[in-house]
A and B are shown apart, each in its own frame.
Chain A
Amino acid sequence: MTAQDLKQVAQEHGLSNEEFQKILEILDRDPNLLELGIFSVMWSEHCSYKSSKIHLKTLPTEGPQVIQGPGENAGVVDIGDGWAIAFKMESHNHPSFIEPFQGAATGVGGILRDVFTMGARPIANLNSLRFGEVKHPKTSYLVNGVVEGIAFYGNCMGIPTVGGECFFDASFNGNILVNAMTVGLVAKDKIFKGLAEGVGNPVIYVGSKTGRDGIHGATMASDEFDDSSEEKRPTVQVGDPFTEKLLLEACLELMQEDYLVGIQDMGAAGLTSSSFEMASRSGSGIEMNLSAVPMRETGMTPYEIMLSESQERMLMVAKKGYEEKVLEIFKKWDLDAVVVGQVTDDGWMRLKWEGETVAELPIAPLVDAAPEYDRPCKEPENLLSNWEMNVDQLNFSSDYSTVLKDLIGSPNLSRRRWIYRQYDHMIMTNTVVMPGSDAAVLRLKELKQGIAVTSDCNSRYCYLDPYLGAQHAVAEASLNLACSGAKALALTDCLNFGNPEKPEIMWQFREAVKGMGEACRQLEIPVVSGNVSLYNETKGDAIFPTPTVGMVGLITDIQNYGSTAFKQSGDAIFLLGEAEAQLDASEYLAWVQKKTCGRPPQLDLAMLASINNFLLKAWENQLIRSSHDISEGGLAIALSECCLLSLEQKLGAHIIFEENTDIQSITKILFGEATPRVLVSCAPQDISSLQELARAQGIPITRLGSVIEENLKIDPWIDLPVAELFNIWDAGFEKHLKSK
């Protein structure tokens, strides 16, 4: 290749001129095509975090409960008694848009591998989904494909999918989000890491054979979409959950023995990133014979083998002399396992093919000298004008019952049963609180403690104010856990944004990370793992920035778990917190008035922390029977949810407000949003203890009314049979999805 050709090829691999010069500097010679391919995937946005690293470094990652922070396959937190929870969230946005079923399925497969490579048995999946408007011609197809793909993979693996969220907005018409999270349980003394230590130790390839799947997947995930993207289709991977189930069982069986040094999933950028990252963490080198890699197709080249993203594969380093023992376990499970190389101590990656050395690269410079950009940031020009609400131009209806029915059946607030009914959410016999509540609650067999898990992000808030919006995501997740009687331990984030080369997008990113970091510090919730997905835009239109938060909390005694639904007629209903509700940036404004504007509500994090503590105490002492945070849709929606989730009990509520004639301020009371606010219910005999506890903790508490049978009455404005609301809420999702 001439110098000019080489430059051209580098460009086609998405490497900038500056990056190409750096490669020449590192090697002190021209790279060959294989080496260039390796550089391009290692330095892609997806693998190197080159645009985001500088900001991610500012997030708090430490705490006494943290066993493993960011940088490994998954984060790990201590839950006591020798046990720990490993968890992580990851995006599979671009592949899911191109092939929704397989894209979502392989997304679940990838995140499961991240968790079980740590030695953890996955015990729960969650997923956070964003689609375009329900009436957009592609939405129904995408929702069906994504949900079926998630169900196909998770159900076959036998891991319950216990929670998540699903949000529709036109900003996702050209780029959907599929963020999958896995939570695993691991014994503290059996945690494995992606290490390649010990000169002469064998490097072993296990799992599916390598095909040409997903070549350039990692670089595709870092490209903006255009019309030709649909043509990039042949690179899409196909998921095989059956093989992954075998891989899971074989790996966990192997990890009970003392044969392994390190293990890593071959995810994005497959064999390349797994081998480089393992060696880099250990400061060692690796020599691999690519001819030994099991191949599914004939005529594959070293370039294709190193860049393939075939699913269900792992790379591991075993202790020398135990190769046969390792291979035997995989044979028992009918899986391919082959020694493909060995660990060296010179810090170089040497790749051989049919006896010849085909690539020779220094590991540390390639990984550590990966580009890092401080990309320019600029506040979007429409930021301030978006905050303006011309309330006078809006039409407010005084038929509040109709507004409530409209909202409770809307795409964003209706019941998600259509989705989670397709997910096996009860397998593994741990699910105590099923999907649909504030958070899912899992017991842990043979342990007194349980955990609660949730994922949250209000994308609209984040668009209107990324700093505040990201704080709300952390706040709401922690509040959802507290409402389940759980104390937040740590979070994983999945940061979905548009093209970082645009200063306005980079500004959104910087502000969101800043806001998230600040909320984490104030609430003492460290970030232990995460993922960044950029370039979520089509023809210049970016998605609403969506820094999704996945959070895990600890319930010290599973018997004291909390849930959303009212439990008994006659119980007293209270409101905790007194933040003033506003219609700005609300779901009401978006759905009923079709307006995305206003500044998201301000957030008193100190008060939120106090309310979280209060809820933990109230559940521990069994002072309350239900708790539910008031979020999208405001008080009327939150009250409805407490009634609706009582299901067959068909409980209602009776709340009395003072007479008011101003339609706009009544609408604000009913549907306005503010955080932190929580609805709790308690038995009549516990009222004074509850009020006492609130006073002692400095929490504003207001008696709203009582739990009754059959009707939701918000006097003097709303009176509806819960059964009627139930039907609208229950049928809403499917109705919107099917309507054209």
Chain B
Amino acid sequence: MGDYTVMKIGIVVFPGSNCDRDTYESLTQQLGAQAIYLWHKNHDLQDCEAIILPGGFSYGDYLRCGAIAHLAPIMQEVISFAKKGGPVLGICNGFQILTESQLLPGVLLPNAELKFICDQIWVRIENDQTPFTKQIKQGSTLKMPIAHRDGNYFIQAEELKRIEGEGQVVFRYCNQEGQSSEKDNPNGSLNQIAGVCNIKRNVVGLMPHPERACEKLLGSDEGKQLFESLLG
């Protein structure tokens, strides 16, 4: 285990973000990392070396999830940070914002059953070459909660083939044993996709909440491995 205080992690706060505090507390209290909040109206990333877009309902998600947040001043900086290869993680609403910003391929549609779903699920690690999965063995499973209304991953058929071919699928919904089939798909996502990365692997988005799975007392500490990968 390395010195987790070395890297400064920025957590972007949009109006309507509601997992910003959970993410901050898990990073600082469960991992001993150094984290700060970045206000959506600002342009300064304050020398952060990694950026997390947390879950929530940015701007109420009243138009399309993430559609308005990607216009926020801070996002211009996040986009150029990402283009320079800086590690960016989007969790839930953060994932939606990254797809709306076109930093990640695809789009998150309303869940197949058109209801909000909050549940414990398992995902399988499909790519261990990203900053957030590099210490997790490919093929291993993580237990994490999901909580979203729009998590149904969709992409055009040709694009789907391309991202699968390029290894851009990072997380796939699966059962406890690591087998992934339509049965374990909570929301109708194509190919049970729970999270993807960009071609350069530095931008990652996923629907499950690793920050909620950092303590055994709450049911799982397996989400911690994403942050340990980043910090280690």
A156 touches B57 (CB 8 A): yes
A227 to B90, CA, bound (A): 51
A432 touches B218 (CB 8 A): yes
User: B18 near A: Cβ within 8 Å?
Assistant: yes
Shortest beta-carbon distance from A391 to chain B in Å:
44
- Point out the residue from A151, A157, A240, A245 that lies within 8 Å of B116, measured CB to CB: A151
A245 to B56, CA, bound (A): 11
A87 to B198, CA, bound (A): 46
A429 touches B115 (CB 8 A): no
A148 to B149, CA, bound (A): 11
Q: Specify which chain B residues have a CB less than 8 angstroms from the CB of A425 in the assembled complex.
A: 118
Among B19-27, B151-159, B160-168, the one that faces the other chain is B19-27
Q: Specify which chain A residues have a CB less than 8 angstroms from the CB of B18 in the assembled complex.
A: 156-158, 245, 427
Among A416-424, A677-685, A690-698, the one that faces the other chain is A416-424
A424 to B219, CA, bound (A): 15
User: A333 near B: Cβ within 8 Å?
Assistant: yes
Shortest beta-carbon distance from A723 to chain B in Å:
16
A421 to B118, CA, bound (A): 5
- Which of B29, B147, B214 has the largest number of chain A CB atoms within 10 A? B147
B147 touches A155 (CB 8 A): yes
Q: Name the residue on B nearest A158 (C-beta).
A: B18
The answer to whether A422 and B116 touch (CB under 8 A), given A334-B15, A427-B18, is yes
- Point out the residue from A242, A420, A429, A431 that lies within 8 Å of B57, measured CB to CB: A242
- Point out the residue from B15, B116, B147, B176 that lies within 8 Å of A426, measured CB to CB: B147
The answer to whether A424 and B26 touch (CB under 8 A), given A156-B57, A245-B16, A334-B15, is no
A431 touches B118 (CB 8 A): no
A284 to B22, CA, bound (A): 42
Q: Specify which chain B residues have a CB less than 8 angstroms from the CB of A422 in the assembled complex.
A: 115-118
Interface residues in A152-171 by Cβ distance below 8 A to B read 152, 155-158
- Which of A427, A428, A430, A431 has the largest number of chain B CB atoms within 10 A? A427
A648 to B176, CA, bound (A): 10
Number of interface residues of A (CB under 8 A): 33
Q: Name the residue on A nearest B21 (C-beta).
A: A428
A155 touches B145 (CB 8 A): no
- Point out the residue from B15, B25, B62, B118 that lies within 8 Å of A424, measured CB to CB: B118
Shortest beta-carbon distance from B213 to chain A in Å:
9
User: A246 near B: Cβ within 8 Å?
Assistant: yes
- Point out the residue from A157, A246, A423 that lies within 8 Å of B118, measured CB to CB: A423
Q: Specify which chain B residues have a CB less than 8 angstroms from the CB of A420 in the assembled complex.
A: 118
Q: Specify which chain B residues have a CB less than 8 angstroms from the CB of A740 in the assembled complex.
A: none
- Point out the residue from A156, A423, A430 that lies within 8 Å of B16, measured CB to CB: A156
The answer to whether A429 and B59 touch (CB under 8 A), given A148-B115, A155-B147, A424-B118, is no
Shortest beta-carbon distance from B120 to chain A in Å:
8
Q: Specify which chain B residues have a CB less than 8 angstroms from the CB of A246 in the assembled complex.
A: 15-16
User: A510 near B: Cβ within 8 Å?
Assistant: no
User: B217 near A: Cβ within 8 Å?
Assistant: yes
A243 to B18, CA, bound (A): 13
A155 to B148, CA, bound (A): 9
The answer to whether A428 and B116 touch (CB under 8 A), given A156-B60, A246-B15, is no
User: A241 near B: Cβ within 8 Å?
Assistant: yes
Shortest beta-carbon distance from A332 to chain B in Å:
8
Q: Name the residue on A nearest B119 (C-beta).
A: A421
Q: Specify which chain B residues have a CB less than 8 angstroms from the CB of A445 in the assembled complex.
A: 25, 29
A155 touches B19 (CB 8 A): no
Interface residues in B111-128 by Cβ distance below 8 A to A read 115-119
User: B212 near A: Cβ within 8 Å?
Assistant: yes
User: B100 near A: Cβ within 8 Å?
Assistant: no
User: B211 near A: Cβ within 8 Å?
Assistant: yes
Q: Specify which chain B residues have a CB less than 8 angstroms from the CB of A242 in the assembled complex.
A: 15-16, 57, 59-60, 62
User: A94 near B: Cβ within 8 Å?
Assistant: no
Q: Specify which chain B residues have a CB less than 8 angstroms from the CB of A421 in the assembled complex.
A: 115, 117-119
A420 to B116, CA, bound (A): 10
Interface residues in A400-441 by Cβ distance below 8 A to B read 420-432, 434
The answer to whether A429 and B215 touch (CB under 8 A), given A156-B16, A245-B18, A334-B15, is yes
Q: Scoring B residues 40 to 78 as 1 if CB is less than 8 Å from chain A, else 0, what string do you get?
A: 000000000000000011011110000000000000000
Q: Specify which chain B residues have a CB less than 8 angstroms from the CB of A151 in the assembled complex.
A: 115-116
A246 to B19, CA, bound (A): 14
Q: Specify which chain A residues have a CB less than 8 angstroms from the CB of B57 in the assembled complex.
A: 155-156, 241-242, 245
Q: Specify which chain A residues have a CB less than 8 angstroms from the CB of B147 in the assembled complex.
A: 155, 424, 426-427
Q: Specify which chain B residues have a CB less than 8 angstroms from the CB of A423 in the assembled complex.
A: 116, 118
- Which of B19, B116, B214, B219 has the largest number of chain A CB atoms within 10 A? B116
User: A130 near B: Cβ within 8 Å?
Assistant: no
A245 to B91, CA, bound (A): 19
Q: Scoring A residues 6 to 19 as 1 if CB is less than 8 Å from chain B, else 0, what string do you get?
A: 00000000000000
Q: Name the residue on B nearest A335 (C-beta).
A: B15
User: A443 near B: Cβ within 8 Å?
Assistant: yes
> 9 additional contacts, CB 8 Å, given A428-B21, A445-B29?
A155-B116, A155-B118, A155-B149, A242-B57, A333-B15, A421-B118, A423-B116, A425-B118, A426-B147
Can you report 24 residue pairs joining A to B where beta carbons are below 8 Å apart? A148-B116, A155-B57, A156-B60, A242-B16, A242-B57, A242-B60, A246-B15, A420-B118, A421-B115, A421-B117, A421-B119, A423-B118, A424-B118, A426-B147, A427-B212, A428-B21, A428-B22, A429-B212, A429-B214, A429-B215, A430-B218, A432-B217, A434-B219, A443-B217
